[in-house]
């Protein structure tokens, strides 16, 4: 016993040192926590919970399964591919009656409609008639509406009868299940999402490269000009930040549309004919130009903050050692700006991948990005689970990029401002 007590360090009055230290720091820790608490709560409520809920929705959807207990039971008892028999139709009718009672036929129908379009009305219509149906139900139902014979509808109901599903992810990756339940690609012509993901990544990369090309010289100037001039230039760079996003986007519309300022100038200058006005709006050009402009400050600021810390003596040293100005730039200056390039590129790319308003306004059909489709599923088709799955894939992609960046450049090397 005495050995143990001797081995623990104690304060002068015999309290264990660790406990005394914790007690003495408790007040400071409590204070620190109080300072952080408001933001912490805010972030939990407005960020962690919604994102968690979104991720949950992408794999959980009970709008059908909650009002179809009998069908659920039948699907559990019979393996996939079983021809729906009388018992199956009896279950269907019983569930339709329940839906009529709970007024949930529309919602349940919408869920099946995600998979097979035009099926929502089958549910609402049949639910209205469900009370009048008499056994044998199979004949009764089919007599009312021949479409219930469709095995695709039954397959869709089977998959929707379990609230947990990865089907939304399959849909988000242009995949579906065939008759036997195995995963296959969707038919030619129905695939949209993979192409959109590809386009989003490509356009974001293009925008990032354009931002980098435009921001690098400006940031360099900002970092090397005397204070008074660089402040003025900085205000010009930040001006877009102080203008509403919508105003900026619409001003690009004024500039780029076919009767717009740029085209008018080109026609005036005789570069293009009046009938050959260039289409720069409602296509990818519009999206790229407007987003490059809007995201430019996010590239300039990290670059500037890195460049400001690079003393001019490095390039001078390189020059005095015999390097031409190009070699000095490439071998000495550029490598030292990498943390800024990395931070700016990551920032611009991540923002571009998730951008919504600008492509929605100036992108037309071909300039749409994945986030516009997410918005479509949130607002128009009301397929929140698919929207959530698309968003989760986007989030996953960004996290992977972030991880790659950390592996290649090191996140500690990043400098944001």
What residues make contact with another protein under the rule CB under 8 A? Answer: 311, 313-314, 316-325, 327-328, 331-332, 335-336
CA 157 – CA 150 distance, rounded (Å) = 11
In the complex, what is the shortest distance from the CB of residue 225 to another protein, in angstroms, rounded to a whole number?
14
Measuring CA to CA, which residue among 260, 286, 259 is closest to residue 366?
Answer: 286
- Of residues 15 and 330, the one with the C-beta less far from another protein: 330
CA 100 – CA 192 distance, rounded (Å) = 35
- Of residues 29 and 316, the one with the C-beta less far from another protein: 316
CA 272 – CA 278 distance, rounded (Å) = 8
Contact 321, 397 (CB under 8 A): no
Provide CB contacts within 8 A for 208, sequence distance 6+: 299, 345, 348, 349, 352
In the complex, what is the shortest distance from the CB of residue 331 to another protein, in angstroms, rounded to a whole number?
7
- Of residues 37 and 321, the one with the C-beta less far from another protein: 321
The count of other CB atoms within 10 Å of the CB of residue 222 is 23
In the complex, what is the shortest distance from the CB of residue 315 to another protein, in angstroms, rounded to a whole number?
9
Label residue 322 left, alpha or beta by phi (over 0 means left) and psi (-120 to 50 means alpha). left
CA 357 – CA 291 distance, rounded (Å) = 10
Contact 237, 297 (CB under 8 A): yes
CA 328 – CA 230 distance, rounded (Å) = 23
In the complex, what is the shortest distance from the CB of residue 401 to another protein, in angstroms, rounded to a whole number?
24
- Of residues 38 and 226, the one with the C-beta less far from another protein: 226
In the complex, what is the shortest distance from the CB of residue 320 to another protein, in angstroms, rounded to a whole number?
4
E strand or H helix at 245:
helix 245-256
Measuring CA to CA, which residue among 114, 50, 162, 51 is closest to residue 392?
Answer: 51
In the complex, what is the shortest distance from the CB of residue 348 to another protein, in angstroms, rounded to a whole number?
24
In the complex, what is the shortest distance from the CB of residue 307 to another protein, in angstroms, rounded to a whole number?
14
- Of residues 136 and 335, the one with the C-beta less far from another protein: 335
- Of residues 108 and 332, the one with the C-beta less far from another protein: 332
Helices (H), 146-192: 151-160, 167-172
In the complex, what is the shortest distance from the CB of residue 234 to another protein, in angstroms, rounded to a whole number?
22
Provide CB contacts within 8 A for 358, sequence distance 6+: 245, 249, 287, 290, 291, 294
- Of residues 11 and 320, the one with the C-beta less far from another protein: 320
- Of residues 82 and 324, the one with the C-beta less far from another protein: 324
């Amino acid at each position: 016993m005495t050995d143990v007590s001797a081995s623990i360090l104690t304060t002068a009055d015999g309290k264990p040192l660790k406990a005394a230290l914790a007690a003495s720091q408790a007040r400071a820790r409590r204070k620190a926590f109080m300072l952080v608490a408001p933001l912490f709560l805010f972030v939990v409520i407005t960020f962690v919970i919604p994102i968690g809920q979104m991720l949950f929705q992408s794999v959980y959807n009970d709008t059908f399964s909650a009002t179809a207990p009998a069908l659920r039971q039948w699907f559990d008892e019979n393996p996939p591919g079983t021809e729906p028999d009388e018992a199956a139709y009896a279950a269907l009718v019983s569930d339709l009656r329940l839906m009529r009672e709970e007024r949930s036929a529309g919602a349940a129908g919408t869920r099946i409609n995600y998979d097979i379009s035009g099926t929502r009305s089958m549910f609402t219509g049949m639910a209205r008639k469900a009370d009048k149906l008499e056994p044998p139900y199979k004949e009764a139902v089919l007599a009312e509406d021949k479409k219930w014979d469709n095995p695709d509808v039954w397959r869709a109901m089977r998959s929707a009868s379990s609230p947990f599903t990865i089907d939304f992810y399959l849909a988000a990756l242009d995949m579906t299940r065939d008759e036997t339940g195995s995963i296959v690609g969707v038919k030619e012509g129905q695939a949209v999402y993979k192409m959109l993901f590809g386009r989003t990544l490509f356009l974001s990369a293009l925008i990032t490269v354009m931002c980098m090309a435009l921001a690098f010289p400006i940031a360099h100037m900002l970092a090397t000009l005397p204070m008074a001039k660089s402040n003025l230039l900085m205000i010009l760079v930040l001006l877009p930040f102080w203008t509403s996003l919508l105003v900026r986007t619409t001003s690009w519309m004024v500039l780029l549309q076919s009767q717009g300022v740029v085209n008018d100038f080109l026609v005036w200058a005789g570069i293009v004919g009046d009938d050959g006005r260039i289409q720069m709006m409602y296509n990818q050009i519009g999206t790229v130009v407007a987003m490059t402009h809007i995201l430019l400050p996010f590239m300039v600021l990290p670059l500037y903050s890195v460049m400001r810390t690079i003393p001019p003596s490095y390039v001078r040293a390189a020059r005095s050692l015999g390097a031409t100005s190009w070699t000095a730039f490439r071998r000495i200056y550029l490598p030292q700006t990498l943390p800024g390039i990395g931070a700016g590129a990551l920032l611009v790319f991540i923002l571009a991948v998730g951008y919504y308003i600008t492509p929605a306004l100036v992108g037309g059909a071909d300039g749409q990005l994945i986030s516009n489709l997410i918005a479509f599923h949130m607002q128009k088709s009301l397929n929140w689970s698919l929207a959530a799955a698309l968003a989760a894939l986007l989030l996953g992609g960004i996290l992977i990029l972030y991880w790659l960046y950390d592996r290649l450049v090191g996140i500690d090397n990043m400098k944001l401002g």
